[in-house]
A and B are shown apart, each in its own frame.
Chain A
Amino acid sequence: MAEEKNIIMRTENLEIRFPLKKNTIFLKRKYVHAVSDVSVEIFEGETFGLVGESGCGKSTFANATLGFLKPSGGKIFFRDEELDVKNKHKLRLQRNDMQKIFQDPSTSLNPRFTVEQTIGEPLRIRGGSSRNEQKEMIADMLKKVGLSENDMKRNVSDFSGGQKQRIAIARALILKPRYLVCDEPVSALDVSVHAQILNLLMDLQGQLGITYLFISHNLASVRKLCDRIAIMYLGRIVECGSSQAIFSNPLHPYTMALISAVLDTSSDSGSKRIVLRGDAASPIDIPEGCAFFQRCPFAKEDCKKLSCELKEYEKDHFAACPFINKK
């Protein structure tokens, strides 16, 4: 990351909350705070990893960057232009360069469609190409994702999970997007095909130079794929930096706990595993101070009150914990 890079996706203090049903009119309306105060920059051509436990707001964040959700606060910029959910026409133009690979290919592909219909759908919607051109592009794309041209007429539901995900990848790439959200692309698949799909994604990035927003709770695959990583906890980014920096020198206690939980076969460090106690706090009533306070192995009394903001501790390595240097 030495050379200066263009920012493709940027969020400024992004906040997304969902209203809860009110039981009485006198009570204050409560919200689920899915994403709070997230400012992230994603550079063109990189793979940006977003890691966190389930329910911490990773997918919500990703969906917001695709214009599926209206931010409750803050702004999202795609190539320096604000993403406005209400401006349908502009959103449509901006979405021309965005795509998403969904978590579970068995629900993200219409079971009534053939492979050709599925992959060709974005082409048909956009128009501007003839039947034969479309067919060629689909055949070409099928080869790229490792399927055969003969599969075109087969029904999507005939394929296995890994193959379905390949079809989903082909559909996402057919319009040559610049920004691709991979929302846990392998977590619904059999372990034996994880590596295949991840390798495919890496190869395709090498060929096409796409920017990935890679969401995962699997640190091993994130380490393998991502240039930069952000760790999310209860809707906030607690640590953000280059993949190398985070794995070699984790600053936030939550990151440490996550990394210590990864099975490391070349374990020469002899580091002890940090086991977190309890569950994450409720995203409805987020504690005032550090959200991680209750589970933090290094928690002090002050943590309850001190608000934790991201600070730069090394170059391009941010963390949100005031006691980092004192551990």
Chain B
Amino acid sequence: MSLIKGMFIGIWNFLKKIWDDKQGRTGLIIAAFLALVAIFAPLLTPYDPYDVAMRDDKGLSPSLEHILGTSITTGQDIFSMLIYGTRVSLSVGLITGLAIAFLGTALGVAAGYIGGIVDMVLMRIVDVMIVIPTLPLTILITNIFGKSYVVIVLVFVLFGWTGLARTVRSQVLQIKNTDYVKAAELSGGSKGYIMLHHIMPAVSHLVVISTALTCAGIMIAEAGLSFLGLGNPTAISWGKMLADAQSGGSMLFGQWWTIIAPGIGIFLSVFSFMRIGLAIEGILNPRMKKSGDARKLWKHMNHRYLDEVLRSMEDTV
């Protein structure tokens, strides 16, 4: 029991530290706001965003009745869609981010610490994963297994763990050979002891930072996939709203708000997680703080997936 209590105290103290950081506080506030919106979505929305059958008034301009107007293809209330979209974006981002953190750390530590054949097999798998073109495969997988969020999350996790596993592995290899691990060995420390007291603490900051940033990356990727029509067609997400606006030709009719609204949603959620990630980076790795601009950190992550999605979005538009 005390272990769980200690863990909660640890998490609470860590959140406090993020709160003390200027960047982190912005991130936390926005993230908390988005989380509240997602949780209380039914209370905040004036209309049912799934209600597509009844309305003839497609593509209405903003009015008191519909704050952001209605969608041009199916006539749903855009404000309601926007709020419900938060749910998809946050949940997909968080669930995938945590799953990747777990899988990537476990496999990275296994490869680095056990070494030998385990290391070789895992790293060859990583190599293979890296040369596979992800987007066509994603299209294939979603066509076979159906376009649901479970499938999308699994696909993200399947292709997302490699970057973290590699980084963790290299860190583990580095720590494994340090003199202080040798000293602990000399004092009689077992493998389990060294793993728990020397290796995990050294790896944990990498994992936490990368998780915050992965969440942000996945949110964009999810929007991108939905925009390309690979998301769950029955759920409402920001990417899908953009796709609707695009296919209905909103811009032709000058309805810029149909694009700006989900855009702001995507921006805010990604922005908040990036801020939190940067704050954590500053806390756990103080030397990085000065140079911790967003672009450098983007490079830390495996952005191949995101890049590909963004590129194909450019092609489509």
Contacts and interface: CB of A to CB of B under 8 A. Distances in A.
A102 interface: yes
Interface magnitude class on chain B: 10 to 19
Contacts of A98: 186
Contact of B193 (A109, A112, A125): A125
Contacts of B201: 112
Nearest to A68: B182
A66 B193 CA distance: 20
Contact of B188 (A109, A112, A122): A122
Contact of B179 (A96, A107, A175): A107
A110 interface: yes
Interface string B181-193: 0111111110001
Task: Say what secondary structure dominates the interface of chain B.
Answer: helix
Given A95-B186, A95-B188, 10 more contacts: A68-B182, A100-B182, A102-B182, A103-B179, A108-B179, A110-B178, A121-B197, A125-B184, A125-B188, A125-B193
Nearest to A99: B186
Contacts, number: 51
A104 B100 CA distance: 37
A233 to B, nearest CB: 26
B60 interface: no
A69 to B, nearest CB: 12
A99 B179 CA distance: 12
A100 B183 CA distance: 7
Nearest to A126: B188
Interface of A: 66, 68, 92, 95-96, 98-100, 102-104, 107-110, 112, 121-122, 125-126, 168, 171-172, 175
B188 A96 contact: yes
Interface in B192-211: 193, 197-198, 201-202
B178 A107 contact: yes
A107 B180 contact: yes
Contacts of A172: 183
A31 B189 CA distance: 31
B198 A110 contact: yes
A298 to B, nearest CB: 40
Contacts of A103: 179
Interface string B150-191: 000000000000000000000000000011101111111100
A9 to B, nearest CB: 15
A109 B187 contact: no
Nearest to A174: B187
A109 B183 CA distance: 9
A122 B179 contact: no
